[in-house]
Amino acid sequence: MDLRVAFLGFYYGPGGGIARATVNLARGLRLANADVGIFALSMHPQWRSLAEEGGVDVVAPREGTIGKLDYLRLMYDFDYKLARGLDSLLRNSGATFDVYVVSDDAALSFARFKGDRRLILWTHGEISLLLINSAWARTPARRLASVLFPRVLAEHRRLSRGFDLIIANSRLAKEIAQFTYERVPSGIVYLPVDTEMFRPVKDPSGDYALAVGRPFGEAGEALLARLARKVPLVTVGGLRVPGARSLGYIQSSEELARIYANAKLVLHTGLGEYFGYSVAESLACGTPAVAYDVGGPSEMIESGRNGWLVTTEGEYEGVVARVFEEGYGPEVRESARASALRFSIDNVTREFLRILKTNLVLW
């Protein structure tokens, strides 16, 4: 395939869903014989290694994690310092591409340096909405920063007009983009899951519930704390729940897949998730998930078939207790695995290419 694609972002950190999605789609495009590169100001070695193993070129001068002040800059690149740095990185590489895909809304300001590039935004939802989310505004400094929401939104809406194409990563992300950017995305390309890596194991132990990711606000943390008193709970990532066994950040995809596959349930307690990698990866491993009937998880779970959707905390606790007491048949794990295959790297890559071919004259 005579197609050259560059993925752009400011920071692809450890454990990040957007970083994993970017690398997975880049690997899928390489398997489709496209020339692919990822350009970032900073990229965690975890993702660099995975990308390079898949034949994807990576240009990222910094590695590791970033500090709190750097993270705030991702929200407020009003002086375009980060965007200017990314533009310089591209120019200094000497490489040119047919399309440039901004895979993280934090890098919207790169549109200022579009030039004659064909620019695509693969959006997971307007990032400034985080500023008014209770899970974000947990400290006085963050609450103070939240007053900038109107200005950030107005600037991002202006910058979004610089993209030739906007693609959403879920139905919720599409709705959010229509409201905030005042642009209608040309389609949906879900975040791809490595279904060869994330797959069921024979005879799973099924003796614990698993919660993966970051804290989802005080209500979600309190719910998990109550559940930890009733069932064995294991957490992965930034979650710290009293009474649960915390495994911290898992860098190995193989180890993470093993943890998913041996869980009885994966618990997702967020209310504002655009996609929900923990749900998609758990389903790929044959493990059903419990989540609220909103956002990305509600697009993946068919209640009673491959997991359970709930609307209240009481219902959530009741489902978890019932599953641990009564269990479920093997058909639930089979349905979970089958439902996740539409998010495979191959299927998502084909949909991405279809949208490009339909909307841009490239090949």
What is the maximum span of the chain, computed from C-alpha positions, in angstroms?
Answer: 61
Indicate the pLDDT class of residue 84, thresholds 50, 70 and 90: very high
pLDDT of residue 221: 87
Query: Residue 215 — very low, low, confident or very high, per pLDDT cuts 50/70/90?
Result: low
At 17 the pLDDT is 86
Query: 37-83, pLDDT tens digit by residue?
Result: 999 999 999 899 999 999 999 999 988 666 554 656 666 677 888 99
Token digits of residue 174: 């599409």
The values of phi and psi at residue 292, to 5°, are -75, 150
Mean predicted confidence (pLDDT) in 185-202: 96
Radius of gyration of the chain (CA): 20
Q: Give the number of other CB atoms < 10 A from CB of residue 356.
A: 24
User: Is the confidence at residue 218, as pLDDT, over 80?
Assistant: no
Query: What are the tokens at 276?
Result: 């929900």
Q: How far apart are CA 120 and CA 188, in angstroms?
A: 13
Q: How far is CA 300 from CA 33, 88, 118, 179, 275, in A?
A: 29, 39, 32, 23, 9
317: which strand partners?
none
Q: How far apart are the first and last CA of the chain?
A: 8
* Ramachandran bin of 246, using left for φ above 0, alpha for ψ from -120 to 50, beta for the remaining angles: beta
Alpha helices in the chain (DSSP H): 17-31, 45-53, 68-75, 81-93, 140-145, 149-160, 171-180, 217-228, 253-262, 277-284, 295-300, 313-326, 330-340, 345-359
Q: How confident is the model at residue 152 (pLDDT cuts 50, 70, 90)?
A: confident
CA 271 to chain centroid: 15
Q: What is the dihedral of CA 41, 47, 53, 55, to 10 degrees?
A: -40
Give the mean pLDDT of the chain. Answer: 89
Write down the pLDDT at residue 138: 57
Q: What is the pLDDT of residue 69?
A: 47
In angstroms, rounded to a whole number, what is the distance separating the alpha carbons of residues 160 and 177?
10
- Residue 155 pLDDT: 83
| Residues 274/176, Cβ–Cβ less than 8 Å | yes
Residue 176: CB atoms within 10 A of its CB come to 22
Residue 271: what pLDDT? 81
Rounded (10°) angle between helices 313-326 and 217-228: 30
Instruction: Determine the length of the chain.
Output: 363
Q: What is the mean pLDDT of residues 91-100?
A: 96
Domains contained in the chain, CATH given: 4-192+344-359 (3.40.50.2000), 209-342 (3.40.50.2000)
Calpha distance 185→181 (Å, rounded): 10
191 or 137: whose pLDDT is higher? 191
Runs of H (alpha helix) within 200-312: 217-228, 253-262, 277-284, 295-300
Task: Please say whether the beta carbons of 286 and 305 come within 8 A.
Answer: no
Q: What is the pLDDT of residues 283-330, one digit of tens each?
A: 999 999 999 999 899 999 999 999 999 999 999 999 999 999 999 999
Mean pLDDT calculated for residue range 2-10: 95
Q: What pLDDT sits at residue 274?
A: 83
Nearest in space to 37 (alpha carbons), one of 94, 83, 112? 94
CA-wise closest residue to 60 among 120, 19, 31 = 19
